[in-house]
Structure 1
Amino acid sequence: MANTASKANTAAPRAPGRAERSGRPGASSPPRRRPVRFRPGPYLLIAPTVATIAVLILYPIGQLVWMSFHKIGTREVRGLDPAKNVGFKNFDTVLNDDFFWKVFVNTVLSAAAMVVFTMIVGTLVGLLLNRLGKRMSLLVSSGALLAWATPAISSAIVYKWLFTPGGGLVPWLLDLLPDWLVGGGWDDYNWFSEPLTTYVVLVLCVVWQSFPFIAVSVLAGLKSVPSELYEAARVDGSSAWTTFWQITFPLLKPVFLVLTVLSIIWDFKVFTQLYFLSGGTANRDSFNLAMYAYSEAVAFPAKYGLGGAIALVLTAILLVFTGFYVRVMIKQGEVA
């Protein structure tokens, strides 16, 4: 009986299981892939945004690139004459012009001063807000954000009035100080007749309008720093200066980096405030790149191609900083 059973068991073939079919023990068959279906819903949702970007940003940039390679004046714009393709002649004219490099230096130096002072004032105000109580911090930050929300032309009008000779608040206050301290004749001094003093007022105007954003951003970053670190530094007798450079700055370094790049992008293309403070395009010595491109495009005779070339150079500079900003944001996302 036992022999017969064992022979039957040996002779009867067994249906191969999953492990045997795959050739390795414990292996399972791969899951079936479902066919990918095209779903138009997400594309339809982002279509209005893409269309808006294409109309408001991509199309003007395309027009700017096209204009910078053509000789375009008033007659060409009106359709009386065809636009003439001049290749890189506009760029050659711009880059070989000594005035362009003077304007470029004005732009770099003024933007550097704006960024440095904006970051310093914004950081100090952010540190102050972090030390205040909730109610006082809310009151101060709300008041500061009013300056940030002020339109550029409005802030330029305010600073034009503050420094107007013969009636402005700043000349009046300076005239009250002793002559041995600041000199005399400030009441009739024209702050907008020289490039240096014009840019002094411009830097003050831009910093006043820009520092609230830095302050609020720094305050948000400070809220994420553990309070135990500051308590330990206080117990060790660390000064406020040492605490900032040993604790606050290293922890908020990504925040400071992003804010610095954003400030560079914004301050490199300042136009409205400078145009109003300098009285238009009459004072060419006070030009920055944005003003220079505008004056070449609208001055008589109009040179839209030359203005487009200058604007394209400025756009290329801003794209470099924008690419750096995007790279920083991606890195921070990977770290997070």
Structure 2
Amino acid sequence: MEIDALRPTGSPRLAGERQEHIELLAAVPTPLPPIIVHRPTMRVIDGFHRVRAARLRGDTTIAARFFDGDESDAFVLAVQLNVTHGLPLALPDRQSAAERIMASHPHWSDRRVASVAGIAPGTVGEIRRRLGSGAADPEARRLGQDGRMRPLDGTAGRLRAGELLSRQPNLSLRQVARAAGISPETVRDVRNRLRNGEDLLPRSRRRDSDTEPRHAAAPEAGTSEDTRPAPVPAPRGEPATGRRAHPLGRSRADVAPDRVVLVKRLAADPALRFSETGRCLLRLLAIHTVREEEWEAIIGNVPPHCSGVVADLAVQLADKWADFATRVRSDVTASVG
């Protein structure tokens, strides 16, 4: 298509395109991948640098593919593509994009927005609270990554699940989840709390039931923001120490030996040892068995000019592990239910 017909506006990059990247693309002798264009407006969705590079080379046409959705969905696609390939968006660009996506898609969960913008769900939650766009309506629901609408406040669902499990303890997790309108993982957490004689609502939910739980701690299981089980509070009367607090009430140094033991135990399992995917999983898990002092040494020696990129990658990898845990638990729940 004709380059002059394009409208190169609306880029998610706050600082615009990078000249050095444009010159690098212009020097490539092979054809560049097609750009993505929003057909109704002719705005460039993906490929701003390629358009500038084509102009620099003196080209009058460029290969393009068209997107026919509305403008808000076109922006979501632009962010998604720029996060996953080419020159990555800077962190401020992704945070700004998350704000814009929350404005155009307020019914999306924090985790869904985070998956598009390439930032952590906790960061999205903080942005939402700062903007004052958190829904206080107890009936509010949000669309998760799996395409399902879930209540923002799981209080009613938890209480309903508790009633069902008390009357019919042999019901499967999935049966209770369908009846209570919550996720199977939330039902699992409710069942464990019943067995342990604990309150069905996590402390954060009891403290302020009409707001979202803070992401600084592990979010409540089964809400639209996450499906991980709620954190177990530290035992009362536990002496305070100078170590950094761990979400499970233990210091990080106390947790590390547990990880080592668990990974060694998994490594002895033939189902993992004698399959390629199993060995790959064991290698990934073994990376995280380093001792506390090794972590501190690594942190203390990250070069200042790399700290932003390293921190951002760590957040993205943590989010990937959280998604991995959710999907593994969901598969187990489905097979049991």
On whether the aligned pair clears a TM of 0.5, the verdict is: no
More relative contact order in 1 or in 2 (CA 8 Å, sep 6+)? 1
Query: Relative to total residues, which structure has the larger helix share, 1 or 2?
Result: 1
Q: Give the number of the structure whose alpha-carbon radius of gyration is greater.
A: 1
Query: Relative to total residues, which structure has the larger strand share, 1 or 2?
Result: 2
Q: TM-score, normalised by structure 1?
A: 0.21
